[in-house]
Amino acid sequence: MPSRPPKYPFLLTVKSYGIITIALFINALAWTAFIIPSEIVGGGVTGLSALVYYASGFPVAFTYLFINIILLVIGIKRLGFGFGIKTVFSTLVLTFFLWFLQQLITEPVVDEKFMSAIIGGILGGASVGLVFTQGGSTGGTDIIAMIINQYRNISHGRIILLFDVVIISSSYILFRSFEVVVYGYVVMAVASYSIDMLLMGHRRSVQLFIFSKKHDEIAEHIANQIGRGVTLLNGKGWYSKEDVAVLMVVVKRYETSNVFRTIKDIDPEAFISMANVMGVYGKGFDPIKY
């Protein structure tokens, strides 16, 4: 049951870029307000850029941009031009936010270093996960994670975590402090968990069985307005001995409210069975991997 193309793709694209912009602002805020002022080394290219900043005073935004230019070329070749557009957009916007906010914020918002690590990790991880849900990337190790995830069913958070271990561990060379390394691991763990939780929620799908005498009208609306495929099953009621039509639909969990609203408007007497599914692979959902 492949999904149909969206009815208004341009509007969806504008919405997608808007969500990405908000997420990138949150990500930059996590770094400039919590992580960097507290002299904590997080993971990813931003963490590597922070190391350069601590050692030389060179702005984080410029180091981040330079490294990502190289990685973007690789990402566009492997993930396609559509990926490249959103990632170039994300890289430029995040570079601007990092530069702008670092000019404004010179002291950590929270004095306690551990709380800075927790809050920074939550905001940083959730924002990266939100960008992933829109098909984009904040660049850096995110690009490498998306390339690997294209061929292997390994979570983004786990891949990024492996790269982050190396970057954060290297902070000991600069600070000669295990405490800095430990705080970096706190940021890494919280961010990784936040990414996975957000992506799992976005990808979670449900299977619906819809029993209604107005099945044709419901199926038409789901297919054309919501953009999901519908399968019509022929059945027979055991008690009534009457032939019945059953609609089977698989949708993302966040789409269920639209489906239920549609069914209620068309046939308030409809009978619906809903169940969570472990995974849905194919067009409109996750790609088939091995």
pTM here is 0.69
Residue 189: the pLDDT is 87
pLDDT of residue 8: 46
Q: Is the dihedral of CA 257, 259, 262, 264 positive or negative?
A: negative
Question: At 250, which amino acid appears?
Answer: V
pLDDT at 184: 92
Q: What are phi and psi of 4, to 5 degrees?
A: -85, 155
pLDDT at 181: 92
Residue pair 80/123 in contact (Cβ under 8 Å)? The answer is no
Whether 76 contacts 66, CB under 8 Å = no
Alpha helices in the chain (DSSP H): 9-29, 44-56, 60-79, 81-104, 113-133, 141-151, 156-169, 171-175, 178-203, 215-221, 256-266
Domains and CATH numbers, the chain: 9-202 (no CATH), 204-277 (3.30.70.120)
Identify which of 37, 184, 26 has the alpha carbon closest to the alpha carbon of residue 117: 184
CB 88 within 8 A of CB 138: no
Cβ atoms of 59 and 53 closer than 8 Å: yes
pLDDT of residue 64: 93
* Predicted local confidence at residue 35, as pLDDT: 92
Low-confidence ranges of the chain (pLDDT < 50): 1-3, 5-6, 8-12
pLDDT of residue 188: 87
Q: What is the pLDDT of residues 138-187, one digit of tens each?
A: 778 777 777 777 777 676 667 777 888 889 999 899 888 899 999 999 99
